[in-house]
Structure 1
Amino acid sequence: MYLNRQGHFITNQKFKAAEEFSEGFAYVQIPNTNRNLESTDSFGYINESGKLVIPATFRSASDLLNGLAIVEIGRGRRLHEQ
C-alpha cells in the first residue's frame, strides 16, 4: 500500500518493495506469482495516483532522473525514457 504526502492511501495494491516518488513516479517490486522457480520478481512504475503506468516487466529498476531510469531487461541493462 502507498500513502501520499497527506497520509492518504493512493492504492490498495500490495508490493514486495516500493521506493519513494521521483519525478512523479515510484518503482515497485511485484512478487513472482508463477510457480516457475526460475522466474523472479519484477519491477514497474506507479504514478502518484497509484496506477501502474509502466508494466512490471523489468528485473531491476531505478529512480527517474531527467525523465530517464536505468532498468534491467533479461540479462542486460538499458536506459528507459518516460
Structure 2
Amino acid sequence: MANTKSAIKAARQSVRNAARNSTTISRLKTLRKSFAQAAEKGDADAAKTAGIAYASAVDKASKKGIVHKNAANHVKSHIAKFVQPKKA
C-alpha cells in the first residue's frame, strides 16, 4: 500500500492509465487479427486496407506512449512485407 501522498496519487494514475491503455491494446490486437486473416486468405485489397488501418493505429499508440517507437516501426515493416507486390 502506498504511504506517501505522491505514491497514492501515482497508484491512482496507474490504475486510470492501465484502463485507458487496455482499450487501445485490445483494438490493436483486433486490427492485427483482421490483417492476418486478410493476408492469409490472399485477398490483396482487404489485406492492404486492414494493413493501413493497423499501421495507423500502431502509429497513434506509439505517439501516446502505449507502444514503443521501435516496436511500432517493426510492426509497420512487417505489414509492408505482406502488402508490397511479390517479385517474380
> Please, what TM-score do these two structures have when normalized by structure 2?
0.27
**Which structure has the higher relative contact order (CA within 8 Å, separation 6+)?**
2
> Please, what TM-score do these two structures have when normalized by structure 1?
0.28
